[in-house]
Amino acid sequence: MEAKFQIFLILLAALAGTALLARRINVAPAILLLLAGIALAFVPGMPSLELPPELVLLVVLPPLIYSASVAMSWREFKHNLRPIVLLSVGCVIFTAFAVAAATHYLIGLPWDVGFLLGAIVAPPDVVAPLAIARKLGMPRRILVILEGEGLANDATALILYRFAVVAISTHLFSLPKAAGTFVVIVAGEVLFGAAVGWLSLRARHRARDPQIEITLSLITPYIAYWIPEHFGGSGVISTVACGLYMSWNGPLLISSATRLQGIFFWDLVIYLIEGLLFLLTGFQMRSLFEKSKAFPLDDILYATALVAVIVIVARFAWVFPATYLPRLSKRVRERDPSPPWQWVFAIAFTGVRGAVSLAAALALPFALPGGEDFPYRDLILFVAFGVIFITLVGLGWGCRRWSAGSASRGTAARNMPRSTNPKSRRGAKRLVLRLSHSTPSPTTANCPTRWSSCCGRGTRPAPTSCRIRSIPTSMMCRRPGRP
């Protein structure tokens, strides 16, 4: 017990030191944390740390998804629903099929095993892309799309993952049945997540104590995740729905004192979880290195490089058509003009894989129901870690060239009015109008009063009276008809 606690203190010290170094050299902390975990794994005398898959899927993933969902504006999520769905559902399925086809024809893996590998490496991480994108200062809409994708793509991947495991175990698979099951799972989890959010808000409102309310907020994501997961769902969609419901309705029932304390509490919890997760992911390199001696090194490197290239190319092949083809419709083009290609490239380039892919690979059973070994299990594990390393380190370093300084400057020059010099009265007026139309005020963006005459769709600045009424306090933010 004492040795485990010492290792925990070492990890905390490595987390703090790596974060300081990342700030000093202006690099995303996730990259250095993964490299630090690999370096610590090979330190003489350091015990081998196995990352239990249930630790990531059942303990770590729910609070990460829930926190990101609560922090996201429901209005922004709804406004960007089309690109989020195309990425979190369409791109994941497309990437899984691309990996399955490539590994089947070039390596000789069976179709079901290749599809399983594709489902594991298809979803970008919920943490790493945002950590890199925020560090680089990318435009707000890119962050919203990446965050929304990270919230929902794990659900698609985990459902495909379970279909593939069942197909390998039973040698039976029906595409219509799988599609119907997918729709039922999504609809059921959305309703269940909203119900959990409703119950949690009412319980916290009755408690009226910040400590108790924060404790209930910590329990909420696990209830929303574990119950659907236990009955064969993914749990991710339910947790996202619960978090978005809390984000939209929370200011009506949660006091400002509780929200203030909850922000500091959740910031610390998420910071520790994210940092330790990247360190522990790097620690898996040691056990994988010991197992790799039973396989030819050339086969492992070839399979890893092939899958990494397919994953990266498939994301580019999906993102650009999915962005510009819908805008061939005049209705879509008028409502949402085409973004600059730098933004689309940044979204395609930030396809970083993370610990969820590794946890899914580790969760594979060792044997089939008949007793024979699970086919290609170790190879899938090696390839999953290799794809995580290549995308996180390689794409993470490459993203530094596509920070907002280069992408947003070209966009600003392209979309800004002719005169926005604040020293000029006309230019200052145009600048204020442009900013008010493109970026609503924070109070308007999350206005919980739901008065369409004030908030609308965020396309026009709200009047002063609405901004005053949308202050998120229990006394000044009542719905019409409430005393």
pLDDT, mean of residues 349-376: 83
Specify the higher pLDDT residue, 213 or 455. 213
Q: Which of 145, 67, 77, 73 is nearest to 441 (CA)?
A: 73
Instruction: Output the pLDDT for position 474.
Output: 36
Instruction: Output the pLDDT for position 355.
Output: 77
CA distance 148 to 88: 8
CB atoms within 10 A of CB 31: 24
Q: Is the dihedral of CA 78, 81, 84, 89 positive or negative?
A: positive
Model pLDDT for residues 371-387, shown as the tens digit of each residue: 788 888 888 988 998 99
The DSSP result for 365-379, as a single string, is -SB-TTSSBPTTHHH
Instruction: Output the pLDDT for position 363.
Output: 82
Instruction: Output the pLDDT for position 399.
Output: 63
Confidence of residue 443 (pLDDT cuts 50, 70, 90): very low
pTM of the model: 0.75
Query: Residue 109, by phi and psi: left (phi above 0), alpha (psi -120 to 50) or beta?
Result: beta
CA distance 361 to 87: 22
Identify the weakest region by mean pLDDT among 42-51, 180-189, 196-205, 440-449: 440-449
Q: How far apart are the first and last CA of the chain?
A: 56
Backbone angles phi, psi at 373, to 5 degrees: -65, 145
Residue 234: pLDDT above 60?
yes
Specify the higher pLDDT residue, 65 or 137. 65
Instruction: Output the pLDDT for position 403.
Output: 53
Given a contact cutoff of 8 angstroms between Cβ atoms, the answer to whether 189 and 228 are in contact is: yes
CA distance 402 to 313: 18
Instruction: Output the pLDDT for position 479.
Output: 38
Residue 473: pLDDT above 70?
no
Specify the higher pLDDT residue, 173 or 258. 258
Residue 320: pLDDT above 90?
yes
Given a contact cutoff of 8 angstroms between Cβ atoms, the answer to whether 393 and 308 are in contact is: no
Specify the higher pLDDT residue, 292 or 180. 180
Specify the higher pLDDT residue, 455 or 335. 335
Model pLDDT for residues 399-438, shown as the tens digit of each residue: 655 554 444 444 443 443 344 444 444 444 444 444 444 4
Residue 350: pLDDT above 50?
yes
Residue 457: pLDDT above 80?
no
Task: Give the 3-state DSSP-derived string for 415-482, with helices as H, strands as E and coil as C.
Answer: HCCCCCCCCCHHHHHHHHHHHHHHCCCHHHHCCCCCCCCCCCCCCCCCCHHHHHHCCCCCCCCCCCCC
Instruction: Output the pLDDT for position 248.
Output: 87
Residue 444: pLDDT above 80?
no
Model pLDDT for residues 11-39, shown as the tens digit of each residue: 899 999 998 998 888 777 888 888 898 89
Specify the higher pLDDT residue, 49 or 387. 387
Q: Which helix (H) or strand (E) holds 127?
A: none
Q: Say which residues have a Cβ less than 8 Å from residue 30's Cβ, sequence separation at least 6.
A: 127, 128, 131, 132, 274, 278, 352, 392, 396
Q: Where are the alpha helices (DSSP H) in 86-127?
A: 92-106, 111-121
Question: Chain-wide mean pLDDT for the chain?
Answer: 78
Model pLDDT for residues 260-312, shown as the tens digit of each residue: 888 889 989 988 988 888 888 888 888 787 776 666 778 888 999 999 999 99
Instruction: Output the pLDDT for position 162.
Output: 86
